[in-house]
Amino acid sequence: MAAARPFIDYPKPKEGDDLTYVYPNDKNPAIRGLPLVLASTLVANSGFVRGLLWNNTGFGRVKDFDGLDKELSTYKPRVIPTVKPGQEASTQTILPFGPDILEPQHTEHEVRYYSTADYRALYRSGALSPVDVVEALLPIVQRGKGSIYEKAFLVTHEDEVRTAAKASAERWAAGKPLGPLDGVPITIKSDIDVKGYVSTAGINPRLEDDAFGKRYPRLREPAKTTDWAAQKLLDAGALLVAQNNMHELGMDTTGCNPRNGTPINWYNPSYFPGGSSSGGASALGAGIVPIALGTDAGGSVRVPPSFNGVYGLKPSHDRTIAMDSGMCIQGPMAATVGDLKAAYRIVAQPNPDDPVTGKFSVSQVPAAGARRIIGVPREWVARSDPVVLEHFNKVIDYYENKLGYEVVDIQIPLLSQGQAAHGPSCLIESLDKARDRAAPNRNDWGGMLNAQNRILLNIIQQASAIDLMKFNQLRTVLMRHMAYLYAEKYPGLIVVTPTTPMAGWKKLPGDDNYGFMDGNMTLHCMLYVWLSNTTGCPSVTCPMGYAEPEQGEGRVPMGVLAMGEWGAEEQLLSWAAEAETYLHNTYPGGRIRPTKWVDVLARANEHKAGGKTSSASDE
């Protein structure tokens, strides 16, 4: 059976041969503090040590796996949905927004997050203006102003955002807003180009060090253009109030950044915020903005939202931007599903000037009466911690017995080997990006990075061209199996797992000072998210509940992850809306907010009334 709709480069469906799941038993040592710094020097200067650590990772075992020699390598998992037979190519570039986006949702609940619909209603009535909101936010998002939230942010162009807010206020006063996002505050991750901002990717440019600036001039050069997804948000009138901090180079899932400071997980500050889109998710969890734009090569717009109790969507590969990457894609994170949907539709508009993204047809909502079926890879899911499994099983029961979804058990081949291929593939691309940022002295890249990343990128230099070829032959096997599940076995399938197998990632003393490296924990954290990057399929994370903490104060959010067929973003967003309803209406106690949640609209009202807004240092 062929795919239900036409695609460019849809994989030929073929069920994988080896469906047995074997959990990897890697023994990568955890290193922290000053020993990490010393180890980074040793690894940089010893080929023997690099080789020893490479062999210990298990990444090299993929090239010796039998059965890949008959498969072609897939270096980019690009599968492009096009228009249905009999339809002409439409001039439509975006789906219209309905009440689920334009009207505040879950207003019957005492605890909820503000959405763009709340801002819009106040702007339309004149009760508030974008100027009030920006003035309320500037003390919070700017570095050096005493804000307890500042570690989530890097740079704010204060004059620019004030000018943009004034222009938005004038449009609302004239009854001519640019659209539903006009005047809504957003943040953008620091590895996404925005004209005038330096895309540091979380590397500290050490502005006080002139010698460092001469050594690495690209860490001081503002972008000359804005990436398509970011530009679409700005064109819609969204106000960029700050650039977000992130895990340096996006090379782990904790968000720990010893040089820029680690953004705080406001649900429980003794846990990490997740990475690499740590700043955006921290800001969302704290209620500071309703939308943040991030990047995702291995869970980076899904793990941080999961840890911070919000939502994130990783789109189909190359849909929002055709990056020089076989794993990474730009995608939205949001505090509510309505805003996730709005942001996705805006950033996913096909770029007519791009030979790749311009070919994507606009995402479509599921047809009435479409099959509703969930696939659960039980052996894989069973690797989750008991509290995660308990919450996950309740979510699946809700979808099956309350919403009428069909639930089937599925198997996916070569999961252990697939993750062993995903990790080094990402590191190879990170090394390439690090070398480019170090230009013109590309081989001097190590001097701008923290100790953890110096170790990782030195180790990955042990990978060979044969390793890379085998990684991408394995990708082909996985993509063909997913095509078999989606197009032949279970049309309409959504694959559902936890987002991470554990409830948060606990900090240890000293982690923020020097960083740390815990390869086994990193791989465990990414246990489910990597598959979407490797195959190019879209996936969405939704909060599914809260665990009692093992340390610190505050319950710890947990996420549920849904992965769909290429081009199935709107199907996933509809599924996410049902998960949001579950959290508010069915989950015991409903949705919760952290104690340091920022009531931005109350602060904006204080500004409008002429009073002094409450201090951002004791929010």
206 belongs to a structural domain: yes
Residue 236 predicted with pLDDT over 50 = yes
Q: What is the DSSP string of 304-360?
A: HHHHTT-EEEEPSTTSS---S-SS-EEEEEESSHHHHHHHHHHHTS--TT-TTGGGP
On the question of a cis peptide bond just before residue 276, with omega within 30 degrees of 0, the verdict is: yes
Task: Please state the rounded mean pLDDT for residues 562-591.
Answer: 98
Those residues with Cβ within 8 angstroms of residue 376's Cβ, 6 or more apart along the chain or in another chain: 396, 407, 408, 409, 410, 495, 496, 497
265 belongs to a structural domain: yes
Q: Is residue 17 very low, low, confident or very high in pLDDT (cuts 50, 70, 90)?
A: confident
96 belongs to a structural domain: no
pLDDT given at position 18: 77
Task: Please state the rounded mean pLDDT for residues 603-615.
Answer: 82
Task: Please state the rounded mean pLDDT for residues 37-65.
Answer: 93
Those residues with Cβ within 8 angstroms of residue 465's Cβ, 6 or more apart along the chain or in another chain: none
Residue 54 predicted with pLDDT over 50 = yes
Task: Please state the rounded mean pLDDT for residues 460-483.
Answer: 96
In the chain, how many domains are there?
A: 1
pTM of the model: 0.97
Q: Is residue 619 very low, low, confident or very high in pLDDT (cuts 50, 70, 90)?
A: low
pLDDT given at position 1: 46
Those residues with Cβ within 8 angstroms of residue 2's Cβ, 6 or more apart along the chain or in another chain: 10, 487
Task: Please state the rounded mean pLDDT for residues 307-332.
Answer: 98
222 belongs to a structural domain: yes
Give 518's strand partners. 30
Residue 348 predicted with pLDDT over 50 = yes
pLDDT given at position 83: 73
Residue 469 predicted with pLDDT over 50 = yes
Angle at the Cα of 467 (from 465 to 472), degrees rounded to 5? 100
User: What gap in Å lies between CA 123 and CA 377, rounded to an integer?
Assistant: 46
pLDDT given at position 363: 87
- For residue 569, the domain's CATH number is 3.90.1300.10
105 belongs to a structural domain: yes
**What share of the chain has pLDDT > 70, as a percent?**
96
pLDDT given at position 614: 63
| 216 three-state secondary structure | coil
Cβ(418)–Cβ(523) below 8 Å: no
| Structural domain that includes position 399 | 7-90+101-608
The b-or-e profile of 461-489 (16+ CB within 10 A means b, else e) is: ebbeeebbebbbbbbbbbbbbbbbbbbeb
Residue 2 predicted with pLDDT over 60 = no
1 belongs to a structural domain: no
615 belongs to a structural domain: no
The model's pLDDT over 174-204, given as tens digits with 9 standing for 90+, comes to: 999 999 999 999 999 999 999 999 999 999 9
Residue 617 predicted with pLDDT over 70 = no
Q: Is residue 439 very low, low, confident or very high in pLDDT (cuts 50, 70, 90)?
A: very high
- The mean predicted confidence, pLDDT, of the chain is 95
The model's pLDDT over 138-178, given as tens digits with 9 standing for 90+, comes to: 999 999 999 999 999 999 999 999 999 999 999 999 999 99
User: What gap in Å lies between CA 533 and CA 139, rounded to an integer?
Assistant: 37
178 belongs to a structural domain: yes
Residue 390 predicted with pLDDT over 90 = yes
